Structure 1
Amino acid sequence: MAVAIPAGVWLLWKFDPNAAGNPFPPCMFYAFTGHYCIGCGLTRALHALVHGDVVRAFSLNPLGLITLAVVPLMMLWSAGWQPRWLQPFMRVAMEPRLWLVLLPTYWIARNLPWFPFTLLAPT
């Protein structure tokens, strides 16, 4: 991870996923179905985040950015760092049923063609 994360940040800084000929693979699910998956827009969101554009990053994949912030906390919690002030949040975030409902719901919602669900599409 000590090499992979800086290398990924460098790639996202150096190459624009929106430009032709970039080294990032396209979303295979979108290519085959024409529908957005849970991760669609995440590469472009991370590119925007690396360049300091948090609003654009959030507009491309809001759940991805929220998860990007929550997963390190979950890892630290599982490793034994469990401050009392974080307990109410982690009780919810560490519940598998939350993710089993949230992820498919997000996947379906971002493909619905009506407002406000169209805001979840990575355009």
Structure 2
Amino acid sequence: MLAAGAALVAVLWHADPNAEGSLLPPCPFQALTGIFCPGCGATRALHALVHGDLAGAMAMNPLLVLSLPIIALMLARVAGWLPNGLHGLARRLSDARPWAVVVISYAVARNIPLEPFTWLAPG
């Protein structure tokens, strides 16, 4: 798991998803429909984070950026690296139903063409 994470960081360090002709593809869902999916901007957000640009990452996909500590907690749980005091929290956060509501709500909100919802659109 650490090797995969290191490989992802290396790719994101060297490949700029914002550059024309980038090896990292744009969102296929957005390209086909013109609608932002919940993951739109995630690659660009991770690229910005790898380069230390938190504001840029938040501009691309705030849900992903704000979810990263929870994702790290869940990965630590799966890998068996989670300290004993955090098992209860990880168990509560592993219920998929609230996450489905959050992700679907985020997907709808980021496509509403009015402020403040436009702040959720990538870019």
TM-score (norm 2): 0.86
Residue number in structure 1 paired with 2:28? 28
Residue number in structure 2 paired with 1:119? 119
Residue number in structure 1 paired with 2:70? 70
**What is the CA distance between 1:83 and its match in structure 2?**
1.1
Residue number in structure 2 paired with 1:96? 96
Residue number in structure 1 paired with 2:83? 81
Whichever residue aligns with residue 122 of structure 2, its letter is P
Is the Cα–Cα contact under 8 Å of residues 92 and 98 in structure 1 kept in the other structure?
A: no
Residue number in structure 2 paired with 1:7? 7
**What is the CA distance between 1:4 and its match in structure 2?**
1.9
Could you tell which deviates more after superposition, 68-77 or 26-35?
Answer: 68-77
Residue number in structure 2 paired with 1:42? 42
Structure 1 unmatched ranges of 5 or more:
none
CA distance in 1, matches of 2:3, 2:91: 32
Whichever residue aligns with residue 112 of structure 1, its letter is I
**What is the CA distance between 1:120 and its match in structure 2?**
0.1
Percent identity (aligned): 45
CA distance in 2, matches of 1:55, 1:62: 9
**What is the CA distance between 1:6 and its match in structure 2?**
1.3
CA distance in 1, matches of 2:84, 2:73: 9
Structure 2 unmatched ranges of 5 or more:
none
CA distance in 1, matches of 2:21, 2:100: 36
CA distance in 2, matches of 1:122, 1:32: 16
Could you tell which deviates more after superposition, 105-114 or 8-17?
Answer: 8-17
TM-score (norm 1): 0.86
Distance 1:97 1:5, change over 3 A: same
CA distance in 2, matches of 1:44, 1:101: 24
Whichever residue aligns with residue 63 of structure 1, its letter is L
Q: How many equivalent pairs are there? A: 121
RMSD: 1.9
CA distance in 2, matches of 1:28, 1:91: 33
CA distance in 2, matches of 1:48, 1:30: 20
Whichever residue aligns with residue 109 of structure 1, its letter is A
